[in-house]
A = this chain, B = another copy of it.
Amino acid sequence: MEITIIGHARTPWTRRQDAPHQPSAARDASGTIEITELYRPALASLETFTRIWLIFLFDRSTGFAAQVKPPRGGPRRGVLATRAPNRPSQIGLTCVGLTALNRDAGVLHVVGIDLLDGTPILDIKPYLPFVDAWPDAGHGWLEADLAAGREPRLRKPWQPPRTGG
């Protein structure tokens, strides 16, 4: 199956070992997303949103592993029950704050970004609370870690002002 790369991330994280494991660890990290010229017209109206999804490729992943050891310890988990890079499709998902958009230049300024510098971007979607926000969904096997305080990165990243539009 062929897939299209629409741009790349420019971030402070250049080495895999430096990158945070989740956006909550990168709450103040700002970066940019550079979109290929062909796809810039598709950005129209994106500036009305304060948060967006980035769908990206884990291009420096070590490849597929059916089960992985979580960074906070505990038993191995199926990779599809984690957000680890070693997924079959090597596709990642992260929610960032959108602070500015220069559509002509194809540059998005974002905050709370946890991607490595140069990460290929496959898609950008607006964050829509009415279908995406489930604050009471529970954290599955991670609950035990959270209850035991084994998640120092649980604080929410910077919350952009609600603009509406």
Contacts and interface: CB of A to CB of B under 8 A. Distances in A.
B133 A135 contact: yes
B137 A162 contact: yes
A41 to B, nearest CB: 4
Contacts of A142: 126, 128
Contacts of A66: 39, 41-42
Contact of A136 (B49, B137, B154, B159): B159
Interface residues of A, number: 75
Contacts of A154: 130
A129 B135 CA distance: 5
Given A46-B78, A95-B132, A6 B89 contact: yes
Contact of A81 (B46, B78, B130): B46
Contacts of A3: 1-3, 89, 91
A140 interface: yes
A152 interface: no
A6 B88 contact: yes
Contacts of A129: 134-139
A20 to B, nearest CB: 11
A104 interface: no
Interface of A: 1-6, 22-24, 39, 41-46, 48-51, 53, 55, 57, 66-67, 76-83, 87-91, 93-95, 120, 122-144, 146, 151, 154, 156, 159-160, 162-165
